[in-house]
Structure 1
Amino acid sequence: MAIGTVKELGCAGKTVLLRLDLNSPIDPSSHLILDDKRFREHIPTIRALSDAKTVIITHQSRPGKKDFTSLQAHAEKLEQLLGTPVTYVDGIFSKHAREVVATAKTGDVVMLENVRFNAEENMTLKPEDAKKTHIVKKLAAMADLFVNDAFGTAHRSQPTVVGLPLVLKSAAGLLMEKEVTQLSRVFSGAPRPVRVVLGGTKVDDSIDVAAHMLANGIADQIIVIGVVANVFLLADGFDIGQPSKALITQLKYEPEIVKAKEILAKYRDRVIMPAWVAVRENGKRAEYPVQKIPADAPVLDLGMDAIAAISEEIRSAGTIVFNGPAGVFEEPDFATGTYELIRAASKTEFSVVGGGHTAVVIEKLGLASEFTHISTGGGACIEFLTGKKLPAVDALEQSKKLFW
């Protein structure tokens, strides 16, 4: 690999700064952590560093948000899941924080305060500038090595993500390594045909993925569902009804209709769109072909004929990349499309899921073990699939050239 791994790093007896992404849903009133999935994903890396002194740096939310909190509850949650003590320090590089790290012993785990409490960590900087920040200099002075396991923030060019690898010998944690390896496989050596399912409401990201994967022959077909499908249907001249058009306007996605037209002009035979949709009519689910969508009814799911046809396309693929739901899956009447397409995807030889809402549904259906890889980073995963080099991965590659 172009990036170093924990196995190769030689951490025994060293002080290791470990960047995690423990940013989790929190109840604003009780400060209780509502979902510990991200904690569980990082446990193998923390255990792999058991012969080192591990100093965790992580964040929760960002300034101005209600869930922008200290990490005391995070340290307690991690201790509970890890089964060994985790010492929480209410500072990042304060005198007290430096003393706790200095007196810790091999095998100890220390968690520093929310790094985004420091103003510099909220800046977007080039690696060369990031390495000159106070936060990077002070943190680096406390450790021998750096391990980045925070794939969820790999698309952010922030000091602890891109600055630390330029001043310390660095490697990817086990989760970061797994994410990069599995997602890279989509680009080369994935079983054919490769079909990419793009849904949900993040239309701009999805269209970037579609354009990159079609232009470079990475995907054989693109399957569009959810609001992404509505944009493609509009681009193809269909009237999707006033409520669905209003949502696209509200989300400021009108420019994406032009991009969808361009994709259809070049790759029409490789774009699979639904032929039937489900709308809410008189408070109930009703189904229509795309040529006859009512003017006043919102499109909220795929129609049953489209579910059957698209499920077959998914089942016959060698590789499925699945990102985003088919409709308003939170409502039982409009969850069928999302649920059935996910069930079909679970049967393919190589299956990658882009995190977010899709991952939540998969866990709810108890199908997580049926998928090859469920990404932990929604935004980072999408950016990776558009062919962009992630800042965190680039920094780790630079670190390998500098220090190995």
Structure 2
Amino acid sequence: MPIGTIKDLGAEGKTVLLRLDLNSPIDPTSNLILDDKRFREHLPTIRALESSRVVIITHQSRPGKKDFTTLEAHAEKLEQLLGKPVTYVDSIFGRHARETVNAMKIGEVVMLENVRFNAEENLTLKPEEAKKIHLIRKLSSMGDVFVNDAFGTAHRSQPTVVGLPLAMRSAGGLLMEKEVSTLSKVFSGAPRPVCMVLGGTKVDDSIDVARHVLDNGIADQVIVIGVVANVFLIAAGYNIGKPSAQLIAHLKYQPEIEKAKEILSRHRDRVVMPESVAVRQDNRRVEYAVGKIPEDAPVLDLGMDALASMVQDLKKAGTVVFNGPAGVFEDADFATGTFELLRAAAKVEFSVVGGGHTAAVIEKLGIENEFTHISTGGGACIEFLTGKKLPAVDALEQSKKIFG
């Protein structure tokens, strides 16, 4: 069942509680926001609600982290990008917050304090439980309807994300809608062949995605790069050298090797592993075939042979879903694999990128406009691709059933 949309909501003249994900990299000393990408992604939704009173609920970081801070800088940044005042309130649902919201006029925007300052928001709860807690009862009494545009937080079962939709009439914002419809297209209706490129260090998630898309015929081919590739190479019987094997142990990903073996036993012909790699030796880039990786050198990128062959695979694809880099792209000597695969992926008919580090690299390369879709939520995007229902999306679907 689809989620409700802003068009269905009839929010004109109403007070809208709007959940955003403005969690951004921050300089802890100056409190300056270093990257405003998430702010820019939410602007269309805020503008679509200009005939309502908009009360923004959002968060920055989480308890115990250095960048867990107030949202004063976020309100200023949003005001600058939106081109109209955004009133920051240093309270979530206290008297000051309630009085400010009650005094709002149509078209005004208020940002409440970091919702994770309230301990209840950091709980993982089922929607029915979340609906009953103090935080949700207080917040839902401050607005008429709820709009969730926080796709980056959609994989978390946190109260504002799953509780508010059960407490009031709700819809997904424009970004949420775009993310869900584009990522759903990967499962049905994407131009074939569908090729998934899975890399980076989140091995467990990537293996879940690989298994789901191969077992269900969603992907025609899975290309593995980065640490994900190293796990598959071990599973295929290769020695990848001590440093890379130790990294897998350090990240506690040894159990994933068995899962990779299982995937290879069923889909060996559809999993593409690197046939050559680049390592650091004597402080420079040296390349080896995968059967000849030195015992003491860390694998830091794809070798040129492997890269050339993978680029050819991407050229034949109709759809590419790209998640995670091919190596230590921060080091210019080992960035080639990541950069060139992304340039090739950008040229296919339907190209989707799963947020996080990969999105940052694309911006650095200046090719963000060449991709069909760059997801704003790394974790949420990956979880969606494993075929699991995201808690936030599920809650919005339930809300549509309850409130119509």
Give the shorter-chain TM-score range.
over 0.9
Q: What TM-score, normalized by structure 1, do the two folds share?
A: 1.00
Amino acid at match of 2:358: T
Match of 2:51 in 1: 51
SS in 2 for 1:131: helix
Match of 2:334 in 1: 334
Distance in 2 of aligned mates of 1:89 and 1:75: 9
**Unmatched 5+ residue regions in structure 2?**
none
Q: Do residues 96 (structure 1) and 90 (structure 2) align?
A: no
**Unmatched 5+ residue regions in structure 1?**
none
Distance in 2 of aligned mates of 1:396 and 1:29: 38
**Cα drift, residue 8 of structure 1:** 1.5
Match of 2:110 in 1: 110
Q: For each residue in 1:375-404, what CA deviation from the matched residue of structure 2 results, as whole angstroms up to 9, or x when unmatched?
A: 000000000000000000000000000111
Match of 1:126 in 2: 126
Distance in 2 of aligned mates of 1:91 and 1:2: 34
Q: For each residue in 1:83-104, what CA deviation from the matched residue of structure 2 results, as whole angstroms up to 9, or x when unmatched?
A: 0000000000001100000001
- Stretches of 4+ aligned residues off by more than 2 angstroms: none
Q: Do residues 166 (structure 1) and 188 (structure 2) align?
A: no
Amino acid at match of 1:338: T
Distance in 1 of aligned mates of 2:361 and 2:124: 32
Distance in 1 of aligned mates of 2:367 and 2:8: 33
Amino acid at match of 1:59: H
Match of 1:75 in 2: 75
SS in 2 for 1:40: helix
The count of aligned residue pairs is: 404
Percent identity between the two aligned chains: 76
SS in 1 for 2:163: helix
Distance in 2 of aligned mates of 1:231 and 1:91: 47
Match of 1:153 in 2: 153
**Cα drift, residue 29 of structure 1:** 1.0
Q: Do residues 38 (structure 1) and 51 (structure 2) align?
A: no
Amino acid at match of 1:200: G
Q: For each residue in 1:243-275, what CA deviation from the matched residue of structure 2 results, as whole angstroms up to 9, or x when unmatched?
A: 000100100000000000000001000100010
Q: For each residue in 1:197-222, what CA deviation from the matched residue of structure 2 results, as whole angstroms up to 9, or x when unmatched?
A: 00000000000000000011001110
Match of 1:384 in 2: 384
Distance in 2 of aligned mates of 1:158 and 1:242: 40
**Cα drift, residue 2 of structure 1:** 1.3
SS in 1 for 2:132: coil
Match of 1:64 in 2: 64
Distance in 2 of aligned mates of 1:315 and 1:141: 53
Q: For each residue in 1:124-156, what CA deviation from the matched residue of structure 2 results, as whole angstroms up to 9, or x when unmatched?
A: 000000000111000100100000000000000
Distance in 2 of aligned mates of 1:383 and 1:262: 20
Match of 2:260 in 1: 260
Distance in 2 of aligned mates of 1:75 and 1:263: 47
Q: For each residue in 1:212-246, what CA deviation from the matched residue of structure 2 results, as whole angstroms up to 9, or x when unmatched?
A: 00011001110000000000000000000000001
Q: C-alpha root-mean-square deviation of aligned residues, in Å? A: 0.5
Alignment of 1:183-202 (within 5 A): 183-202=183-202
Q: Do residues 301 (structure 1) and 301 (structure 2) align?
A: yes
Distance in 2 of aligned mates of 1:283 and 1:203: 27
SS in 2 for 1:223: strand
**Cα drift, residue 325 of structure 1:** 0.3
SS in 2 for 1:308: helix
